[in-house]
Amino acid sequence: MKMNLIFNRNIPDYQSSLSKVEDVLIKHNVDFKSMNLDNMEFYGDFTIVLGGDGTILRAARFYSEKSVPTFGVNIGRLGFLAQVQTDDFETVLDALLAGDYRTEERIMLESGSHLALNDFVVRGCNSTRASKFYLEINGEDVCDYIADGLIISTPTGSTAYGLSAGGPVLYPTTDSILIVPICPHTLNARPLVIPTVENIAVKTADSDLSVAIDGYSKIECVEKISIKKSDKKAVLAFLNNTNFYAILRDKLHWGLPAGEG
């Protein structure tokens, strides 16, 4: 197995974690190439990513081009998409080299040439207050929102910003798209779950739109944005003993009584 080893220079003290992982790979005679997030290449047939969720999302989008599995090692904060910490990597590598893992295809959204594995977040371009957003699906007017913005999310992204904004948690391989208003100025605005065959468009009456992609890269000041399911899919790798519901409990304290966890 040839591996891409991706790291993020912007994470404090990344060098220590990188050195530990490189030492383990060398010890196990793994053919690998270390690459900064800004200089990724198609070298191996499996990708190890050192970082938080933002780093993993970006690498997974890049390697979706050739359906290369991506496996996260957390050196960020929450690391919801990451499997392990750096200190546990040697044990995990034994499992990966033995084929004791599974892969999951995750849907992505696209707008023109832009891909999102988590979400597109739409806000007013020049507004510091709520704007009026018009939601269209398949060219038909669906509803108007007076809100701080709209989140158009994949199931993978439902545990990210969409969750913070009051949206539901979707099982990550569900074939659906989630639309969540941010701080709507009404009590009857609710999140909407729709099939992935639908085509979404958003515009606003107040100003142009600013669109964040997976929390980072932006599309600035456009009159309207169209979003649909991409034909490309990200491929994430997970240890066979990984359970989505356990991750919810362990990392988001889902279902635990107040004060526990």
Which one of 38, 53, 87, 231 is the catalytic residue?
53
Which residues of the chain register pLDDT less than 50?
A: none
E strands in the chain:
2-7, 31-36, 46-51, 70-74, 84-85, 101-111, 114-116, 119-124, 131-137, 140-147, 149-153, 176-182, 192-195, 200-204, 209-213, 217-222, 224-239
* Residue 163: predicted pLDDT: 94
Domains of the chain: residue spans and CATH = 2-99 (3.40.50.10330), 110-230 (2.60.200.30)
pLDDT of residue 255: 73
As a whole number, the mean pLDDT across the chain is 92
Structural tokens at position 251: 């990392």
Q: How far apart are CA 112 and CA 110, in angstroms?
A: 6
Residue 79 region by backbone torsions, left for phi larger than 0, else alpha for psi between -120 and 50, else beta: left
What local confidence, expressed as pLDDT, does residue 261 receive? 55
pLDDT at 27: 96
Q: Is 203 exposed, middle or buried (0-12, 13-18, 19+ CB in 10 A)?
A: middle
- Tokens 């269209």 identify what position? 136
Residue located via tokens 């207050």: 129
SS3 186: coil
Quick one: which H or E segment has residue 161? helix 161-164
For residues 169 and 248, is the Cβ–Cβ distance under 8 A? yes
Decide if 53 is catalytic.
Answer: yes
The pLDDT of residue 147 is: 93
The predicted pLDDT at position 207 comes to 74
What pLDDT is attached to residue 108?
A: 98
What pLDDT shows up at residue 251?
83
